Amino acid sequence: ETTPAPNFIRNQVRDEIEGGQVTKIVTRFPPEPNGFLHIGHAKSICLNFGLAEQMGGECHLRFDDTNPAKEEQAYIDAIKEDVSWLGFEWAGPVRFASDYFDQLYAWAQHLMREGKAYVDDLSPDEIREYRGTLTAPGKPSPYRERSIDENLDLLERMSKGEFGESEKVVRAKIDMASPNINLRDPILYRIRHGSHHQTGDKWKIYPSYDFTHGQSDAIEGITHSICTLEFEDHRPLYEWFLNNLPVPAKPRQIEFARLNLDYTLTSKRKLKLLVDEKIVDGWDDPRMPTISGMRRRGYTPASIRKFCEMIGVTRADGGLVDIAMLTHAIRSDLEDNAPRAMCVLNPLKIVLTNVPEDHEEVYEVPGHPAREDMTMRKVPFGRELYIDQDDFMEDAPKKFFRLAPGKEVRLRNSYVIRCDEVIKDAAGEVTELHCSVDFDTLGKNPEGRKVKGVIHWVSATHGVPMEVRLYDNLFTVEQPDRDKDVDFLDHLNPDSLVVCQAIGEPSLAAATPESRFQFERVGYFCVDRHDSTPEHLVFNRTVGLKDSWAK
Ligand code: ATP
Ligand code: MG
Ligand code: MG
């Protein structure tokens, strides 16, 4: 086994528990329900739920639902399903930041009474302008010194919908000259008309992320609020709210580096564009780096958790993780656990001229070379077979150890055959091969010569037709969204999906949705959970056989 990857948060929590500063940790995973979860979220899920699991604590699932315009119930349902599928259980009910809207409103009033918040009438553009820059201090809004009573009255009227969407905001009164721009009177509330998926029409104002997150953590008794490094600059504000409000607890924010994976987008906004533009077949298209897409592609929960463990958790930002590390994780899982089968992706017919028409022969073959617990497969053999077009070459070079005119090859689990005749149609395309069997080669080497190649095959009379979808990376470059001036859609891989009309061995006819196989010599495949039926089997390629990740 490889040495465990660093995880500074786990080490820190362990020290705190051993030192007695913390008795039970409580973490949370806080997605905004504005899209499906992707592999980056899996890192955060494994970190938050994993820590709770390993340290005897608990982890909450809390929807960060403060922007109703972009959120939907369908996303909530999908996110819950993904977290459960990964094998994690949240403690207590599913929570919503919107559960705390009443409390947050009372806390906004509290800040106003203390002279620490005000209603501002500046427009969004003016607010931006007044806020200043990294090198220039901001200047105070002319509305900053409103009286407590006026502020409380305007807040109430905002909440009742008396004003238009960008007419007013509520801001904290902190420090317009702070070197940290987040402290230059951050926005606490915005006006939003329109309904919310949880609270309906109750609210016309919605709290900002900053005004919501830490207080929600405090209400829930979160001990460690783990987030990505973009929020490092927000930490002083997170703490300002906790220090200036009568909150029941003081959670701590800890930041870690987000996951960036090569050839992959990890931004819900960009993934949503692929869905909206119908470049992919929905959020769970098997090419999508969403958890549900990876599931449909054939990834196992164990492989995703293993990958998240392998990449570790650090504060070093900017690194790109090699996608070969992800494919390594699923490949090694499937190598150990997926039953084997033979499937011909691009069939070429073979007639074995010295095998009688009514010949019946069935091989009992292990389901997996190293797993005696797996049931044996029955593989029928007969006069007519299919092999893959790639395993035959008419003008073969010397090193081609598959089938060629006059050459021999072994059929996997069966006999050695020789290609005697190539049959072509009027256009000169090869339509079938006539071959002969050496009956003295079952389970033993042929006499007086070496046959190097072994190819897979399927009986033509017993084989089951199936659709096989060969998926590849969606993008042709390592960082499709690196360049701000180039549309990431310019880097789409035109061959990210190739569909084959394949023929599989009969044991595959009974394959149920989401079951996974190694098609020998071809790769790992999974039965599509939506489109496959017993009458029309559909398999998705999860990953090829070759591992390019060097440990
Ligand atoms: P996106 O930019 O894709 O919309 P987000 O951060 O806005 O992502 P949230 O729903 O707010 O999405 O994310 C929930 C949690 O997942 C947050 O704690 C966030 O920090 C974490 N997260 C999101 N993307 C990544 C990533 N690439 N790597 C690690 N953690 C991530
Ligand atoms: Mg977001
Ligand atoms: Mg977010």
pLDDT at 54 over 80: yes
Give 107's DSSP letter.
H
Through-space distance between the first and last CA atoms of the chain, rounded to whole angstroms: 11
Ligand 3: distance of its center to the CA of 56 in Å? 27
Catalytic hit among 95, 190, 204, 268: 268
Distance 203 CA to ligand 2 centre (A): 22
Q: Out of 258, 272, 349, 521, which one is annotated catalytic?
A: 258
| Structure tokens given for 435 | 């071959």
Q: Is the pLDDT of residue 190 over 70?
A: yes
Judge contact between 325 and 307, C-beta under 8 A. yes
- Tokens 């119908």 correspond to 278
Phi and psi torsions of 232, nearest 5°: -55, -45
Pocket test for ligand 1, best of 27, 34, 37, 44 (most atoms within 8 A of CB): 44
Enter the tokens of residue 347. Answer: 């069939």
In contact, 309 and 5? CB cutoff 8 Å: yes
- What pLDDT is stored for residue 323 in this prediction? 96
Amino acid at 190: R
pLDDT tens-place string over residues 448-507: 999 999 999 999 999 999 999 999 999 999 999 988 888 999 999 999 999 999 999 999
Whole-angstrom Cα distance, residue 446 to residue 439? 9
Q: What's the pLDDT at 548? A: 81
Count of CB atoms within 10 A of residue 37's CB? 25
Rounded to 5 degrees, what are φ and ψ at 435? -130, 165
Q: What DSSP letter does each residue of 219-244 carry, written as one string? A: HHT-SEEEEEGGGGGGHHHHHHHHHH
**Angle, in degrees to the nearest 10, between helices 323-337 and 301-311:** 140
Establish whether 258 is an annotated binding residue: yes
How high is the pLDDT of residue 551? Answer: 57
Q: What is the mean pLDDT of the chain?
A: 96
Give 392's strand partners. 403
**And the tokens for 408?**
């021999």
- Nearest ligand, CA of residue 268? 1
Sign of CA dihedral 351, 356, 360, 365: negative
In this structure, how many other beta carbons lie within 10 angstroms of the beta carbon of residue 549?
A: 15
197 in a labelled binding site:
no
The CATH class of 268-340+467-544 is: mainly beta
Q: Is 39 annotated as a binding residue?
A: yes
Position 414 scores a pLDDT of 98
Residue ranges of E strands in 31-109:
58-63, 95-96
Kindly report the CATH number that applies to the domain delimited by 8-256: 3.40.50.620
- The single-letter DSSP state of residue 376 is P
Ligand nearest to the CA of residue 258, numbered in listed order:
1
Length of the chain in residues, anyone? 551
Pairing of strands 224-228, 408-411: unpaired
Ligand nearest to the CA of residue 230, numbered in listed order: 1
From 226, 228, 269, the mutation candidate for ligand 1 (largest count of ligand atoms within 8 A of CB) is 228
Ligand 1 site, residue 258, Cβ cutoff 6 A: yes
Domain ranges in the chain are: 8-256, 268-340+467-544, 341-466
Predicted pLDDT of residue 349: 98
Ligand 1 contact, 289 CB (< 6 A): no
Q: What is the pLDDT of residue 4?
A: 73
Owner of token pair 């060097």: 550
Q: How far is CA 145 from the centre of its chain?
A: 48
Q: Distance from the CA of 375 to the center of ligand 3, in angstroms?
A: 47
DSSP assignments along 3-24, one per residue:
PPPPBHHHHHHHHHHHTTS-SS
Cα gap 21→29, rounded to integer Å? 23
Query: Has residue 119 got a pLDDT over 70?
Result: yes
43 touches 311 (CB < 8 A): yes
**Bridge partners, residue 58, by sequence:** 26
At 360-379, the pLDDT tens digits run 899 999 999 999 999 999 99
Task: Flag whether 42 is marked binding.
Answer: yes
For ligand 1, atom 27, the nearest C-alpha belongs to 40
Mark whether 258 is an active-site residue.
yes
Which one, of 285, 312, 308, lies nearest residue 88 by Cα?
Answer: 308
Share of the chain above pLDDT 90, in %: 96
Q: Whose CA is nearest to atom 22 of ligand 1?
A: 41
* Cα–Cα distance for residue pair 546/364, rounded to 1 Å: 27
What is the mean predicted confidence (pLDDT) over 313-342?
A: 95
539 CB contacts (<8 Å, ≥6 apart)?
A: 343, 466, 467, 468, 469, 502, 504, 511, 517, 525, 526, 527, 528, 532
| Beta bridge mates, 351 | 384, 434
Task: Report CA(463)–ligand 1 centroid distance (Å).
Answer: 46
Domain range 341-466, CATH class: mainly beta
Tell me whether residue 516 is one of the annotated catalytic residues: no
- At residue 311, does pLDDT exceed 80? yes
- C-alpha 288/C-alpha 248 separation (Å) is 41
| Tally of CB atoms within 10 A around 296 | 27
pLDDT of 78 reads 98
What gap in Å lies between CA 118 and CA 144, rounded to an integer? 6
Pocket of ligand 1, candidates 41, 65, 227: which has the most ligand atoms within 8 Å of its Cβ, to mutate? 41
Q: What is the pLDDT of residues 90-103, one digit of tens each?
A: 999 999 999 999 99
- Distance from C-alpha of 528 to C-alpha of 539, rounded to nearest angstrom: 6
Quote the pLDDT of residue 549.
77
Q: What whole-number distance in Å separates Cα of residue 412 and Cα of residue 426?
A: 32
Provide the greatest CA pair distance for the chain: 103
Q: pLDDT at position 108, please?
A: 98
Rounded-to-integer distance, Cα 45 and Cα 395, Å: 54
**Is the pLDDT confidence value at 6 over 90?**
no
Task: Tell me the mean pLDDT in the region 161-170.
Answer: 97
Helix (H) or strand (E) segment spanning residue 149: helix 148-159
Distance separating alpha carbons of residues 371 and 453, to the nearest angstrom: 25
- Sign for the CA dihedral angle at 384, 390, 396, 401 comes to negative
pLDDT class of 319 with cuts at 50, 70, 90: confident
Equal CATH topology for 8-256 and 341-466: no
Active-site residue, 173 included: no
Spatial neighbors of 443 by CB under 8 A, at least 6 apart, are none
Q: Where are the alpha helices (DSSP H) in 287-369?
A: 291-297, 301-311, 323-337
ipTM of the complex, rounded to two decimals: 0.96
In contact, 436 and 354? CB cutoff 8 Å: yes
Question: Is residue 2's pLDDT more than 60?
Answer: no
d(CA 466, CA 508): 9
- The confidence score (pLDDT) of residue 3 equals 67
